[in-house]
Structure 1
Amino acid sequence: MSRYRRMKVENGMYFITAVLQNRKANYLIRYIDEFRAAYKETQLHCPFETIAICILPDHFHLIMQLPENDMNFSKRIRLLKLNFTKRLPLEYRQPTASHTKRREAGIWQRRFWEHLIRDDQDLVNHWDYIYYNPVKHGYVQAVKDWAYSSFHRDVKRDIFPEDWGGNPELIIKGEI
């Protein structure tokens, strides 16, 4: 397998999507306390600012701001995946031979998606996409009803109104 090239920028802001291998699994919300502990442990060892996050049953979206003089977002995602996986019950952690060979956690898709945020409008588009995602997937009718996102933190900070619903036409088309 060839090495994947990623755009790395010091102090960059990135939109990240990481997905479980089994798209029908709900480990991320079934084991939300373990995910939160893994997230905190990752931030302890490799700090970053959480601009926005939304955790869905089988994937999560994150906008992260890296610290000054740091461009290694890949290390943070690798650690988060590893820290979460090791907290799961043993029956979920059985890697395939391919995963073992590459020292990867078997519950995750091998790669993750990343996008360098280019400007303020790009940030707004991705922020909206993250928070509207549970509605798009049909988990809830309103953004405020999804418990597993930083939307509620941002409502308290007066960044979003509690009844915010995004622009569904733009968000559903995936034009981010």
Structure 2
Amino acid sequence: MSETPYRVAVIVGSSRQGRVAPTVAEWFLRTAGHRADLDLDVIDLADHPLPHLGEEPTAEQAQCLAALSPRLAAADAFVVITPEYNHSFPAVLKNAIDWHRAEWQAKPVGFVSYGGLGGGLRAVEQLRLIFAELHTVTVRDSVSFHGVWAAFGEDGEPVDPTVPNGAAKGMLDQLTWWAHTLRDARAARPYGA
């Protein structure tokens, strides 16, 4: 196994006012941050206002795009943190995905989702279809917070940490296996789709 940590781009996929995303992201970063085999790069889409796909970027948007693209390209793997809005995921996340193609290819993607009763799982299922089109490997296991508004205490920790912590370990174990396998494969033979 490679001794170089896997660079994981953690994409915070919500930009709404009053969002729960920072709480979920901070929990995930604390949980994943204990692993020596991961180098986490947090990309909060609220900090990267991209133009809509097909629009001419403003100078600020072009600067954000120029900063974002190399970070995605440098990643060995991705973790997408997404809420579920109306049985789907946020438009800001789809827009960021669509602005890129080669950056995603032949890399694994894991998911941390949150929402009401569904815990964001319907958003994840739709994202799996999109990432398949971009030639990624989505890992089977994911982390989901059902009823997210009651899932975290005032300290930012899950009220019942056993379920999300166990799910995070399983997802990250799968993600690192695929990151290792696909990084070695890309080094041996560049991916051409």
TM-score normalised by the chain length of structure 2: 0.26
TM-score normalised by the chain length of structure 1: 0.28
Relative contact order: is structure 1 or structure 2 higher (C-alpha 8 Å, sep ≥ 6)?
Answer: 1
